[in-house]
Chains A and B, each alone.
Chain A
Amino acid sequence: MKILVAVKRVVDHKVNVRVKADETGIETANVKMAINPFCEIAIEQAVRFKEQGSADEVVLVCIGPKEADVQLRAGLALGADRAILIRTDEEVQSLDVAKILHKIVQEELPDLVLLGKQAIDTDNNQTGQMLAALTNMPQGTFASDIAFTVPNTVKVTREVDGGLVTLALSLPAVITVDLRLNIPRYISLPNIMKAKRKVITMTSPDSLGVSLSPRLTTLKVESPPVRQAGVKVADVAELVDKLQQQAKVI
């Protein structure tokens, strides 16, 4: 079984992002970048399947600038076999990402495509579902457990609003992963060295025959309204008094 894992390079989740003064976007110069945490979980899961013997090959695919090879090397050090970097310096919106991944799926013919459920920068939560639509594959979104049971079927436990739901999907399928699926391993130094010898194939949206057609224009990006600094209360009595008399919420 071949597993394709989509990886996104994003601002590290610990960075306290700042809105640019001209309101065109987020300050990303000299900001620490990392693999999107959800994508890291997807890579970890694919590598675990390989270790368990249910997968033969784990291929990473990333759309981004040249610098994204740092994140792909990290993914290879986690245990993936090889990687594909679709180089572009432009912003690629979810629908175009799905179209590019669709081309890669047609070339690679994976049995399973794993993605994170959302990227922590755009917070869109769309790409996996869009890819499933374009490839006409079933989708298992927000997965917290994935199991191969009967041949050509994958059982996916999904995190939904009321609890958990389990679905059976026929393969090939697209699965997007939730935080609870696994805890990604730490990368060891020997694995970093090994990853240097693994292959990253470079291509571009153009050579895949996808012309980017952004449909959404970001008119401006602003800081959210700042909450007023609160007051310290001394004890429970004062808290209850404030909530009743001042805030009038109880």
Chain B
Amino acid sequence: MAILIVAEHDNHTLQAATLSVLTAASEIATHISDTELHLLIIGDECQPVVAMAQGITGLSKILVADHQIHQYPLAENIAPLIVSLVQEQGHCNDEHQEFDKTQYSHIITSAGTTGKDYQPRVAALLDVAQISDIISVESADTFNRPIYAGKAIATVQSSDAIKVLTVRSSAFTAASFTAGSLTTELLAIESQVPVVALAAQADSGKSAFIKAELTQSSRPELTTAKVVISGGRGMKNADNFELLYTLAEQLNAAVGASRAAVDAGFVANDLQIGQTGKIVAPDLYIAVGISGAIQHVAGITGSKVIVAINNDPDAPIFDVADYCLVADLFEVLPELTAVLKAKN
């Protein structure tokens, strides 16, 4: 038996979230005797990703579906590919056994928007349940996951033969690359991980990619940043977010936002942190002008240290913050930036 990990990438770089998924998969593997970790890379001209994956410890096999139809991840094309892999492999490896003995016990990916999109489609095609957004592993079939915007943690056991999971990447530390210093050429020689190229599949013909409008940013990625600074309605307008970006510069931080700030048009919606946006768990989270609604707090409670800056002493954010500063953010932000700049 093996665990199939579906990689998240942009055809050039493996997303850090995949490394956290690998950690979750390894934890599951400790509960099963004699299991392997297989990494599936679906993309178009994604050789750089394959090369990066070669540097990961613990993988037994890398499966690559490199085809033009996967240039943009479409659930209609990805789901049948994963399903065929599960069924075919079962057929090949257990010829003398029943067909329904598949090779894969778990199919696992990160709970980013891509994984959330195709993974339930995979589960339904396999006629199994999916467990979304797991935050810890109890055993091979039992996992913990937050419900009700993180107000409760449910321990869920699956009775399905194949467990289809998505992983909250901020809840697991990222697996390390074995060979950060090795070049791609060296890796190719030293690595023993076999790479299997998968046959091309037909396009579903049901959906087509038209365009992407991606937010350009020089700041670290929100979900993996060590420090995150977020602004809310209290920032008053989009221009004032510059104050946060200047501060973020000093701390090498990512900048996020509350729903109020996104809805008011201060920042793009992919910066939203919370139940319906991104879940972050940085070392330091600084909430500026954010009241701290349940839905926002759902996205930050994994943070090591929370700082809240708000002029309302009764703001609920102060109930979860480690350090509370009741003050006008327009005075505090420039001052904080100046102090940090002086120290740097």
If the complex has contacts A121-B148, A125-B132, A250-B251, are A139 and B121 also in contact, measured as CB distance less than 8 A? yes
A18 CB to closest chain B CB (Å) equals 8
Q: Answer whether residue B220 sits at the interface, using C-beta atoms and an 8 A cutoff.
A: no
Residue ID in chain B nearest A247 by CB atoms: B305
Complex alpha-carbon distance, A240 and B251, angstroms: 12
Q: Quick one: which of B118, B269, B325, B335 contacts A180, CB cutoff 8 A?
A: B269
CB distance from A116 to the nearest CB of B (A): 10
> Would you give the 0/1 interface string for A98-133, flagging 1 where the beta carbon is closer than 8 Å to chain B?
100000000000000000011011111111111111
Check if B212 sits within 8 Å of A163, measured CB to CB. yes
Per-residue A-contact encoding for B264-298, CB less than 8 Å = 1, 0 else: 00001110000110100001100000000011000
Nearest CB on B from A93, distance (A): 6
B188 within 8 A of A: no
Question: Are A162 and B332 in touch, CB under 8 angstroms?
Answer: no
Q: What are the residues of chain B within 8 A of A133 when measuring CB–CB?
A: 79, 120-125
**Counting chain A CB atoms within 10 Å of each CB, which of B122, B123, B147, B335 scores highest?**
B147
> For the complex, is B199 an interface residue (Cβ under 8 Å from A)?
no
Interface pair A215/B301, CB less than 8 Å apart: no
Q: Which residues of B141-168 are within 8 A (CB) of A? A: 142, 145-160
Does B284 lie within 8 Å of A95, measured CB to CB? no
Q: Does B63 contact A (CB under 8 A)?
A: no
Contact assessment for B214 and A237 in the assembled complex, using a CB-CB cutoff below 8 Å:
no
A156 to chain B, nearest CB (A): 9
- Do A123 and B133 contact each other (CB < 8 Å), given the known contacts A164-B212, A170-B207? yes
Residues B116 and A125 in contact, CB atoms below 8 Å apart: yes
Please name the residue on chain B nearest to A121 by beta carbon: B148
CB atoms of A134 and B124 under 8 A apart: yes
Which partner residue on chain B sits nearest A217 by CB separation?
Answer: B157
Any chain B CB within 8 A of the CB of A187? no
Report the nearest A residue to B15, measured CB to CB. Answer: A161
Give chain A residues whose Cβ lies under 8 Å from the Cβ of B283: 249
| A window 2-61: CB within 8 A of B | 11, 13, 16-17, 19, 26
A203 interface residue, CB < 8 Å from B?
Answer: no
Q: In the complex, how many angstroms separate the beta carbon of A60 from the nearest chain B beta carbon?
A: 22
**Chain B interface residue count: which class?**
35 or more
Contact status B120-A165, CB under 8 Å: no
The answer to whether residues A217 and B159 also contact, given A126-B120, A168-B210, A224-B153 and a CB cut-off of 8 A, is yes
B129 partner residues in chain A, CB cutoff 8 A: 93-95, 215-216
Please indicate the chain B residues that have their CB under 8 angstroms from the CB of A173 in the complex: 206
Within 8 Å CB of A17, what residues of B?
148, 151-152
Instruction: Say yes or no: A130 contacts B123, CB within 8 Å.
Output: yes
Contact B124 A217 (CB under 8 A): no
B179 interfacial contact with A, CB 8 Å: no
Given contacts A230-B322, A247-B322, contact A161 B114 (CB under 8 A): yes
Q: Does A212 contact B (CB under 8 A)?
A: no
Instruction: Find out whether the CB atom of A219 lies under 8 angstroms from the CB atom of B117.
Output: no
B276 and A160 contacting across the interface, CB-CB below 8 Å: no
Judge whether A218 and B154 touch: CB under 8 Å.
yes
Q: Across the interface, do A161 and B227 meet the contact criterion of CB distance under 8 Å? A: no
In the bound complex, residues from chain A placing their C-beta under 8 Å from that of B79 are 133
Chain A residues with CB under 8 A of B304: 247, 249
* Chain B residues, Cβ within 8 Å of A178: 276
Measured CA separation A221–B79 after assembly (Å): 31
Which residue of B has the minimal Cβ distance to A37? B276
Specify which of A93, A216, A232, A247 lies most central, judged by the most chain B CB atoms within 10 Å of its CB: A216
Could you tell me if B270 and A162 are in contact, using CB atoms closer than 8 angstroms? yes
A144 in the interface, Cβ–Cβ < 8 Å? yes
B208 touching A167, Cβ below 8 Å: yes
Taking A130-B120, A216-B129, A216-B157 as contacts, is the C-beta distance between A165 and B211 under 8 angstroms?
Answer: yes
**Which chain B residues numbered 58 to 96 have a C-beta less than 8 Å away from chain A?**
72, 74-76, 79
B324 CB → nearest A CB, Å: 5
Measured in the bound complex, the distance between the Cα atoms of B276 and A125 in whole Å is 10
Query: Which of A120, A124, A139, A247 lies in contact with B117, CB distance below 8 A?
Result: A139
B204 / chain A contacts, CB cutoff of 8 Å: 138
A193 at the interface (CB under 8 A from B): no
Interface string of B309-344 (1 = CB under 8 A from A): 000000000111111111100001001100110010
**Is A236 in the interface zone, CB < 8 Å from B?**
yes
The CA-CA distance from A133 to B128 in the complex, in Å, is: 12
Cβ contact of B142, chosen from A125, A134, A137, A219, cutoff 8 A: A219
Extra contacts besides A17-B152, A129-B121, A137-B206 (15): CB < 8 Å? A13-B294, A94-B129, A125-B116, A129-B118, A139-B75, A162-B212, A166-B211, A170-B205, A215-B158, A219-B142, A227-B322, A230-B324, A233-B324, A233-B325, A249-B283
- Can you list 8 A-B pairs, Cβ within 8 angstroms, ordered by A? A123-B148, A124-B130, A124-B132, A130-B120, A138-B207, A163-B268, A229-B319, A236-B339
Footprint of B on A, CB under 8 Å? 11, 13, 16-17, 19, 26, 93-95, 98, 117-118, 120-134, 137-142, 144, 155, 158-170, 173, 178-180, 215-224, 227-233, 235-237, 239-240, 242-243, 247, 249-250
Among all A-B residue pairs, the 3 with the closest Cβ atoms: A129-B120, A133-B124, A130-B124
